[in-house]
Amino acid sequence: MTQIPTGIENRGLNWGWLTILLSIVTLVLAGITIGFELTDTVVGIYIFKPLTTATIIIIALIALQPPTFQYKWMILFGLGFSLIGDILLMLPWDLFLFGLIAFLVAQIFYTIGFSSVRGLYTSVIGAIPFVIFGLIMGFFLWPNLGEMRIPAIVYLVVILVMGWQAFGQWQQTGERRALLAFVGALLFIVSDSLLAINRFATPLELSRLLVLGTYYPAQWLISLSTGSEHP
């Protein structure tokens, strides 16, 4: 006789379906937000941009069986500061530096979370691609950064360390959810790199589409990594 799932199994099943539903909602909200960004619809941006990130936060909040207790809360704190960064960057005043600081804190929380599973990843070989990318980006952006040189370079270093530790978590565990975190970290690096290039180097056509089109999947994947492969 087929047993009806109960207890943790049933909660896991419910979590899985709820996560799928919230992921679909996130996709729709992200698409609406990007549409409002492309048409400069201010009211729509003010409503849907934070709402999209808030939905991603809920996905992490309801996750079952995280790899460590610390991991889940570090990711949640990181998402929370990302939400603050989203709000700061969408306001009509030039709060770019404050938004940068908010996302810097988010990257630090993500790094702590990624390294909480199997400890700090120290492979020099694993760091090489991130170092090379950082040198290329730094060389390309440096002449145009002006007074933002120090904050921008510090942020670049921190986000690349975050990506390195995400890669390390995947290498050390081989878990599917760790792979999601790593891909999310890479997309975050791509998104912020595009943002920096557009702001400091050369304007990119459809920059908002490119930046947000990588940013939301990045946050979504990192959020999904808080749950077990078998909830």
Domain segments of the chain as ranges: 7-224
pLDDT at 137 over 90: yes
Q: Which pLDDT band, with edges at 50, 70 and 90, does 77 fall under?
A: very high
Q: Sign of the C-alpha dihedral, residues 62, 63, 65, 67?
A: negative
C-alpha 190, offset from chain centre:
11
Q: Give the span between the Cα atoms of 152 and 141, in whole angstroms.
A: 9
pLDDT, average across residues 187-210: 95
For residue 134, the model assigns a pLDDT of: 97
Q: Sign of the C-alpha dihedral, residues 81, 82, 87, 93?
A: positive
Q: At what angle do helices 42-61 and 207-224 cross, to 10 degrees?
A: 20
Task: Choose the weakest-confidence range: 3-12, 56-65, 66-75.
Answer: 3-12
- Quick check: 68 and 117 in contact, CB under 8 A? yes
For residue 126, the model assigns a pLDDT of: 96
For residue 5, the model assigns a pLDDT of: 41
For residue 92, the model assigns a pLDDT of: 87
For residue 64, the model assigns a pLDDT of: 87
